[in-house]
Amino acid sequence: MKHGQYICKQSARLSRDECDSILSGEYRFLEKSEEPFRQELYVELQHRLLRPRVMVDYEREPFVYESGDVRITLDKHVRGSGFFDLFDPDLPVTDVVPGNLVILEVKFTQFLPSLIRTLLPPKAAENSAISKYVLCCDVAPREAEAFTVSAQHSILKPV
């Protein structure tokens, strides 16, 4: 969920069968779940008619600096696909960030320690956001547009 510039990410573990069910438009099992987030997901799928748009894949190197609760990630090999077979090792993908570039994310809860601040490039002090999802939507193959589902069988748009 997004609130202004802040994002709250929630997750739920899914079995392979549950994932396949959601991708085929069968998600009623979520409504019967004991987990509130799964129930909320069902409501969103049912009423907002969410469906897949693009797959986003990347490699992440995470780092944590406990002072200030700083999380630093290096995301590389960012790829997107208009296909939705999550478990296909040969899924056709399109690179959306040139191979020699890395997306650096620095997130912190309390404060950004001066040690970290001095290591960042001068313009890094500006707030900016790079959405890997948006990058993938812009260049991923348009096979997703051929993906049709009825309003009764809509499925989730991955983040």
Q: Tell me the per-residue pLDDT of 39-61, one tens digit each, with 9 for 90 and over.
A: 998 998 888 887 778 889 999 99
Domain residues for 134?
A: 54-146+155-159
Q: Are 28 and 106 members of one domain?
A: no
Q: What band does 127 get if pLDDT is binned at 50, 70 and 90?
A: low
Q: In this structure, is the dihedral angle defined by the CA atoms of residues 51, 53, 59 and 62, taken in order, positive or negative?
A: negative
Question: How does DSSP assign 102-134, residue by residue?
Answer: -EEEEEESS---HHHHHHS-GGGGS-----HHH
Q: Are 72 and 8 members of one domain?
A: no
Residue that finishes a domain, picked among 10, 28, 50: 50
How many other C-beta atoms can be found within 10 angstroms of the C-beta atom of residue 78? 24
Please name the helix (run of DSSP H) or strand (run of DSSP E) that holds residue 63, with its range, or none: strand 55-65
Q: Are 46 and 64 members of one domain?
A: no
pLDDT of residue 2: 59
Q: Are 22 and 89 members of one domain?
A: no
pLDDT of residue 142: 52
Please tell me the total count of domains within the chain: 2
Taking the complete model, does pTM exceed 0.75, yes or no? no
Q: Are 40 and 63 members of one domain?
A: no
Percent of the chain with pLDDT over 90: 23
